[in-house]
Amino acid sequence: MADTENSKSRVLIIGGTGRLGQRFVRASLACSHPTYVLFRPQAANDLAKVDLLISFKKAGAHLLQGSLDDHESLVAALKQVDVVISAMAGTMVRNDILQQLKLLEAIKEAGNIKRFLPSEFGVDPDRLVNSIEPENPVMIDKRKVRRAIEAAKVPYTYIMANCFAGIFLGGMGQFGQGFIPSTERVSLYGDAKTKVIWVDEDDIASYTIRAIDDPRTENRKVHIRPPANILSQGEVVEIWEKIIGHPLEKTQISGEDWLKTIEGKPLEIQTIISHAYEIFYEGCTTNFEIGADEKEASQLYHDVKYTSVESYLKLYV
């Protein structure tokens, strides 16, 4: 059932105080969806989160205090909306992605949710089943959540957003080098020719909000592959060098040597290194064709004028 005032689906965002979640809140409001944000009680102790919540309120969002551990409050929140987007993030130590199974139980009980978008927004966890060790537990948990949603027959959309621009372009693909591109040097993954997909987080939110009411995306995977943003690390570095007007000092690391850097690192860092190998050496964001039963966002939603890698990188000068 849509909102009677403006006939747009009512959207509940879980994780709206997070990095991607806050963009979903803004994109949902920008598309005139009645927008609800579930925030945890502990946000009250974090001034930056309180400021953010107040900014949502001023922009017209409805704020709902709640928790995944409070089933009754969750069901009550769900009964007010049509669509649920979760932007929860998992860590090695806290399996928050699996907490979404509690959300799924509440969705089943509420019985009125016409689309659930679980927290995905990366690479396709079903395509990384045989990935190199150690596998990121977040991928394992995302697969478990998918299977539970499908078994419950709750209508879903899984969004594959590939590489977040702020994290990946900011560091020119490097890890542990900060999120502002260096004007002096860069470390390249091998020949740096493997194609990678880079997507502005605001564009991820714009595509996601368009998908929530679209019958073409019901029970489908949606990949975000803006054609002009399918570039190798080497091509990204060239664009950056053109912007800053001089070449960077470059070092290369072979795939074998990259994997050796795993030795002796804490598990969380190991999984980051192995995931970088999958992206920058194996090409896990681009080394497959999108299936006939899957969709690609930039082909579905031409009205989203996505941000090119070049214009994103220009933000840093």
Please report, as ranges, the residues that interact with ligand NAP according to CB under 6 A.
Answer: 14-15, 17-21, 40, 43, 49, 68, 87-89, 96, 99, 119-122, 138, 161, 163-164, 167
Shortest distance, position 249 Cβ to ligand NAP, whole Å: 26
Residue 116 · residue 87 · CB < 8 Å: no
Smaller CB separation from ligand NAP, 87 or 237: 87
Phi, psi of 262 (to 5 degrees): -65, -35
Smaller CB separation from ligand NAP, 8 or 232: 232
Shortest distance, position 4 Cβ to ligand NAP, whole Å: 29
Residue 29 · residue 61 · CB < 8 Å: yes
Catalytic residue among 8, 49, 142, 295: 142
Shortest distance, position 119 Cβ to ligand NAP, whole Å: 4
Residues whose CB falls within 8 Å of the CB of residue 164, separated by 6 or more in sequence, listed in order: 20, 199, 201, 204
Smaller CB separation from ligand NAP, 177 or 183: 177
In the block, residue with structure tokens 């960077």: 248
Smaller CB separation from ligand NAP, 49 or 210: 49
- The secondary structure of residue 275, as a DSSP letter, is H
Q: Is 142 a catalytic residue?
A: yes
Query: Residue 252 forms beta bridges with which residues?
Result: 188
Residue nearest to ligand NAP (CB): 18
> What CA–CA distance (Å, rounded) separates 14 from 66?
10
Question: DSSP secondary structure string, 218-235?
Answer: TTEEEE---GGGEEEHHH
Smaller CB separation from ligand NAP, 50 or 244: 50
Task: Report the alpha-carbon angle 162-120-284, nearest 5.
Answer: 35
Shortest distance, position 14 Cβ to ligand NAP, whole Å: 6
Nearest CA to 73 out of 33, 108, 43, 103 is that of 103
Residue 77 · residue 47 · CB < 8 Å: no
Shortest distance, position 290 Cβ to ligand NAP, whole Å: 17
H/E element, 186: strand 185-189
Nearest CA to 146 out of 174, 112, 104, 113 is that of 104
The residues assigned a catalytic role are 142
